[in-house]
Chain A
Amino acid sequence: MTRLTVPKTYKLYIGGKFPRSESGRTYEVVSKKGVFLANVALASRKDARDAVVAARGAQPGWSAATAYNRGQVLYRIAELLEGRREQFVEELIATEGASKAVAAKQVDTAIDAWVWYAGWADKYVQVAGNGNPVSGPYFNLSTPEPTGVVAIVAPQASSSLLGLVSVIAPAILSGNTVVVIANHAAPLAAVSLAEVLATSDVPGGVVNILTGSPSEIAPWLAGHADVNAIDLAGAEALDWVDLMVTAADTLKRVLPPEAGVPAPSLERIVALTETKTVWHTKSLI
């Protein structure tokens, strides 16, 4: 006799906890072949707002952590992801209909992306900052700092795990905290990634993951006054111009939609930072 399996309840990830949607709503996720996989939480406007509150609360602490510390935390995510590699491969096969080889490649690439970005945590400031030779007796230094709370629409077309990692990692390594809307059709890997984050050393609230409808939730995040930037990487199929117009009300930084999964890049890191320039007088001796 085969053993009866114990299926997982797939929930949201907000403030380090796994709540159901306050709305009580779920949506059915099926495999490419139409087989039922899970009832996944369908996040509401209220869930999105709760996630922003959690992200804002976590932001000062996370950005004040040393760069060395943030780098190690990101590397730790890669370690734990590696340990649960098989689980992610299975989920990607189920939700994306990928072959085992393709799914495994996606998981490996996602793990390597964490490692690549982990190494940037204590370097991007050196590369993107400047000492400025001003004409006068002043010390003058420009350094990038995290923008704050970043809302993200994760890539929707394919690669539900790699797409998610490709937008979360460059945002959080500098000290931003994020509210990310997962891949709608294939959300299982996102919830499992949340479990990885919860058991690695990422403080609660640094990454908040919402499963649900991007077209329903994204407008609330684009208009939220306590969100500093919105990454529309996966918003290609949405009315993203409208989201940009909404984001302009609070002059958010906006990253445009991208076809496919964003490649690892320093530009993505720097795009979610602000340059602060500090002048200090030098005494005349």
Chain B
Amino acid sequence: MSDLSKTPSFLDYAPAPESTSILHLKKSYGLFIDGEFVKGHGAPFLTISPSSEQKIAEIANANSRDVDVAVAAARKAYDRTWSRMSGADRGKYLFRIARLVQERARELAVAESLDNGKPIKESRDVDVPLVAAWFFYYAGWADKLDYAGLGPNPKALGVAAQVIPWNFPLLMLAWKVAPALAAGNTVVIKPAETTSLSAMIFAEILQQADLPAGVVNIITGAGDTGEALVNHPDVNKVAFTGSTAVGRAIAKSTAGSGKKLTLELGGKAANIVFDDAPIDQAIEGIVNGIFFNQGHVCCAGSRLLVQENVHDEVVDRLKSRLGTLRLGDPLDKNTDIGAINSREQLDRVRELSDIGEAEGAVRWSAPCVIPDKGFWFAPTIFTNVSTSSRIARDEIFGPVLAVLTFRTPGEAIAKANNTPYGLSAGIWSDKGSKILAVADKLRAGVIWANTFNRFDPASPFGGYKESGFGREGGRHGLAAYLESAGWGSGK
């Protein structure tokens, strides 16, 4: 972009890469089972940086035998240690973990950006601080389970099998591990195949925290490893974040098993902009809603519903704002848009975008210089999108925004709800009564009014309809890992 003008503009920044010297990576990582790093029995695989396609490290691959060993370790730790420990002591371990994450925050952020491709300003200012906050929040719950809303003396479930996605690798780990441990469960967790690195550093943190062996086991691998884990007969709880297709398969394979299940799946969130919205903030909110983390966000505001009379103004201002976004090196502190996480995902984003064009939508991409190596996709807006178009219906999971219009609040609500998903939604208006009335009628689990993509450990997150069930975060997130022992004196 800087070559558009001969005189330097405010957009010209000198490179400001975050140093990777803080990282002390190993050449290869094993599975973290029973407190130790051990070899996997599947064929190891490489994790690469999606911004350079450079190899970072070799990652072990857990086969079904390794899954057995990990589940057995978690079971033993549950029976002999974790279920017998006081809530106060469980809490102290979680507080320790929160502090260790804070102490090693920069290292974790660099590892995350390197391995995932997200901008360092996001991993440094959003992902990792939230990881620490999540452990700190749930630490305090560990000795207060009687107040979780499930009646006196609620019970842990046992061994939790957790499978997480690649978009927020360490944050999703925290969302899963912190409430599970606070509630008294032990864990076997599988990070996504392309983003295992920060989980391996987290395993080192668990060693530093002196967490009893087997309480958290981290096994790496691909889909078949995850499948073996969630279908393991000695697992009591399954928690999955990822695609709706895989969530559906897990719901089927665990049916009748008695395993408690929570699913956090796909989304196609409507971001509704009324003509009385504070437009400056709305533009920032739209950009944050869909281009945060390259749009690799299940709750991304991927459908912009804009009131017809402000459509042209909003789209023009959006384009001019997108022209100022800097795409490039995820480790550069000035980068706004990082790399797409994998070639596979890039192919999917490209395919759906091409379909959008073929179906008659008008495509506009920000004029970015795309680096030679790595996986990149310029921020893209589609206008003239029909509600039946694939780009208005399918989750793209990339930096692609579909713009639709509406005239009345009723039409906005109908269009927003016209999806099998129901994870999140945004509302932009200066009129509070309108916001509350619209929020009442949207079928979505998280609604952001005059903001978007806010997350907090105290705030429950999760979907309606085919976006899954169960909540993560807050008191509700704790309940997903507990079983009521009955209310006793109640009816």
> Residues of A with Cβ closer than 8 Å to B?
116, 127-128, 130, 132-136, 138, 140, 142, 147-148, 228, 240-241, 244-245, 247-251, 253-254, 263-267, 274-281
**Interface residue ranges of B450-466 to A (CB < 8 Å):** 450-451, 454, 456, 458-462, 464-466
Specify which chain B residues have a CB less than 8 angstroms from the CB of A274 in the assembled complex.
445, 464
- A142 to B472 Cα, complex, angstroms: 12
Closest chain A residue, CB of each to CB of B447: A278
Specify which chain B residues have a CB less than 8 angstroms from the CB of A240 in the assembled complex.
256
Closest chain B residue, CB of each to CB of A142: B460
Specify which chain B residues have a CB less than 8 angstroms from the CB of A228 in the assembled complex.
465
Closest chain A residue, CB of each to CB of B471: A275
Would you give the shortest CB distance from A43 to chain B, in whole angstroms?
A: 25
Closest chain B residue, CB of each to CB of A279: B448
Closest chain B residue, CB of each to CB of A253: B469
25 contacts between A and B (CB under 8 A): A132-B474, A134-B454, A142-B460, A240-B256, A244-B251, A245-B252, A247-B251, A248-B255, A250-B466, A251-B248, A251-B263, A251-B465, A254-B255, A263-B491, A265-B487, A274-B445, A275-B476, A276-B446, A276-B447, A277-B461, A278-B449, A279-B449, A279-B454, A281-B449, A281-B451
- A138 to B461 Cα, complex, angstroms: 15
Q: By the criterion CB–CB under 8 Å, are A244 and B484 in contact?
A: no
Q: By the criterion CB–CB under 8 Å, are A277 and B447 in contact?
A: yes
Would you give the shortest CB distance from A171 to chain B, in whole angstroms?
A: 16
Q: By the criterion CB–CB under 8 Å, are A267 and B484 in contact?
A: yes
In order of increasing CB-CB distance, the 6 nearest A-B pairs are A241-B256, A248-B251, A244-B255, A134-B456, A280-B449, A248-B252
Told that A134-B454, A265-B487 touch, could you supply 10 new A-B pairs with CB distance under 8 A?
A136-B454, A142-B476, A248-B251, A267-B484, A276-B464, A277-B446, A277-B460, A277-B461, A277-B474, A280-B451
Specify which chain A residues have a CB less than 8 angstroms from the CB of B248 in the assembled complex.
248-249, 251
Q: By the criterion CB–CB under 8 Å, are B450 and A281 in contact?
A: yes
Residues of B in contact with A, size category: 35 or more
- A73 to B244 Cα, complex, angstroms: 38
Is the C-beta of B179 less than 8 angstroms from some C-beta in chain A?
Answer: no
CB < 8 Å neighbour of B458 from A133, A248, A263: A133
- A251 to B249 Cα, complex, angstroms: 10
Specify which chain A residues have a CB less than 8 angstroms from the CB of B443 in the assembled complex.
148
- A121 to B378 Cα, complex, angstroms: 50
Q: By the criterion CB–CB under 8 Å, are B446 and A251 in contact?
A: no
Would you give the shortest CB distance from B264 to chain A, in whole angstroms?
A: 11
Q: By the criterion CB–CB under 8 Å, are B456 and A135 in contact?
A: yes
* Max chain B C-beta neighbours (<10 A), residue from A116, A147, A279: A279
Is the C-beta of B368 less than 8 angstroms from some C-beta in chain A?
Answer: no
Would you give the shortest CB distance from B216 to chain A, in whole angstroms?
A: 25
- A281 to B475 Cα, complex, angstroms: 22
Would you give the shortest CB distance from A234 to chain B, in whole angstroms?
A: 16
Q: By the criterion CB–CB under 8 Å, are A132 and B251 in contact?
A: no
Tell me what chain A mostly uses at the interface: helix, strand, loop, or mixed: mixed
Closest chain A residue, CB of each to CB of B475: A130
- A211 to B471 Cα, complex, angstroms: 36
Q: By the criterion CB–CB under 8 Å, are A140 and B456 in contact?
A: yes
Is the C-beta of B444 less than 8 angstroms from some C-beta in chain A?
Answer: yes
Would you give the shortest CB distance from A53 to chain B, in whole angstroms?
A: 18
Q: Given contacts A251-B248, A267-B484, A280-B435, are A275 and B460 in contact (CB under 8 A)?
A: yes
Q: By the criterion CB–CB under 8 Å, are A251 and B476 in contact?
A: no
Closest chain A residue, CB of each to CB of B486: A265
Q: By the criterion CB–CB under 8 Å, are A241 and B445 in contact?
A: no
Would you give the shortest CB distance from A39 to chain B, in whole angstroms?
A: 36
Q: By the criterion CB–CB under 8 Å, are A275 and B451 in contact?
A: no
Q: By the criterion CB–CB under 8 Å, are A130 and B476 in contact?
A: yes
Q: By the criterion CB–CB under 8 Å, are B451 and A276 in contact?
A: no
- A254 to B247 Cα, complex, angstroms: 15
- A266 to B491 Cα, complex, angstroms: 9
Specify which chain B residues have a CB less than 8 angstroms from the CB of A277 in the assembled complex.
445-447, 459-461, 474
- A277 to B460 Cα, complex, angstroms: 7
CB < 8 Å neighbour of A251 from B265, B439, B447, B484: B265
Closest chain A residue, CB of each to CB of B454: A279
- A228 to B469 Cα, complex, angstroms: 11
- A164 to B224 Cα, complex, angstroms: 43
Would you give the shortest CB distance from B447 to chain A, in whole angstroms?
A: 5
Specify which chain B residues have a CB less than 8 angstroms from the CB of A133 in the assembled complex.
458
0 or 1 for each of B244-277: is its CB under 8 Å from A? (1 = yes) = 1001100110011000000101000000000000
Q: Given contacts A250-B466, A279-B449, are A264 and B456 in contact (CB under 8 A)?
A: no
Q: By the criterion CB–CB under 8 Å, are B449 and A264 in contact?
A: no
Is the C-beta of B468 less than 8 angstroms from some C-beta in chain A?
Answer: yes
Would you give the shortest CB distance from B146 to chain A, in whole angstroms?
A: 15
- A249 to B248 Cα, complex, angstroms: 6
